[in-house]
Amino acid sequence: MKAPNAILLDVGDTILRQYWFDLSLGIDAVVHDRARSEELATAFRAYELPAYDRGDECLLAEWLRSQVPSLAELPTESIEDRIWATVVRMEPLPRVDQVFASLRDDRVPVGAVSNAAFSGRAIRAELARHGLASQLRFVLSSADLRVRKPAPGIYSAALERLHARASETWFVGDTFDEDIVGASAVGLQPVWLTPGRTTDRLSIDVPVVRDWSEFLALYASCRAS
């Protein structure tokens, strides 16, 4: 396995761990009607699941503005920021800051690719709150392109932004079907960050690391070889 010339990272449960999420409470930050917010949260879940099956993505703020007439005059970004501030709580995974420091010292460019109903702009703002956004060339969300991993288009768009070849780029993520299978299909070198999960009989030959400490060891080994 060759050392990477560039790296792409998933966000949720890869860079940041999500430890709390309440969709109806997030929606209520802009609707200000708890019962109506719960109805809208249920409706959005029903709307997005068939889209997921097609590999499509929905932008929550855009959908919400189409459902609530009083929000029609508000910019999508404003709606999204109000929702995000209430809907989720996240924290960096241990030692991810050391990974970024090592990659920065080695001048390895890094980008992030996330499946989310929020824009890359909103996710980057969350990363900035944890002091991590400056380490990334870009944050690309499936909502930006309206297509979800493992669709090849989202990886191709990320590689174009990174100015990197797939064969020289690692992709690190926590979900097998979305991150690992999708990355492998377009020629990226996947690395599966998967603490405590069964890895027997994998359909893809992929290095597995349980945490960022093990990733650092793998990365150092590849650079030394």
> Residue 196's pLDDT is what?
74
Name the domain boundary from 35, 53, 88.
Answer: 88
Tell me: pLDDT of 153 over 80: yes
d(CA 64, CA 68) in angstroms, rounded, equals: 6
Q: Would residue 140 be called left, alpha or beta, if left means φ above 0 and alpha means ψ between -120 and 50 degrees?
A: beta
97 in the same domain as 205 = yes
51 in the same domain as 129 = no
Total Cβ atoms within 10 A of residue 49: 9
168 in the same domain as 126 = yes
Who's near 216: CB < 8 A, 6+ residues apart?
95, 98, 99, 102
214 in the same domain as 108 = yes
Model confidence over 34-77: pLDDT tens digits?
999 999 999 999 999 888 888 899 999 999 999 999 999 999 99
Q: What is the pTM of this model?
A: 0.95
The answer to whether position 181 is within a domain reads: yes
d(CA 225, CA 222) in angstroms, rounded, equals: 5
Q: Which of 214, 212, 164 is nearest to 189 (CA)?
A: 164
Phi, then psi, of 209 in degrees rounded to 5 = -125, 140
Q: What is the CATH number of the domain that holds 107?
A: 3.40.50.1000
- Which two tokens mark 116? 């989310």
Tell me: pLDDT of 177 over 70: yes
Tell me: pLDDT of 201 over 60: no
132 in the same domain as 38 = no
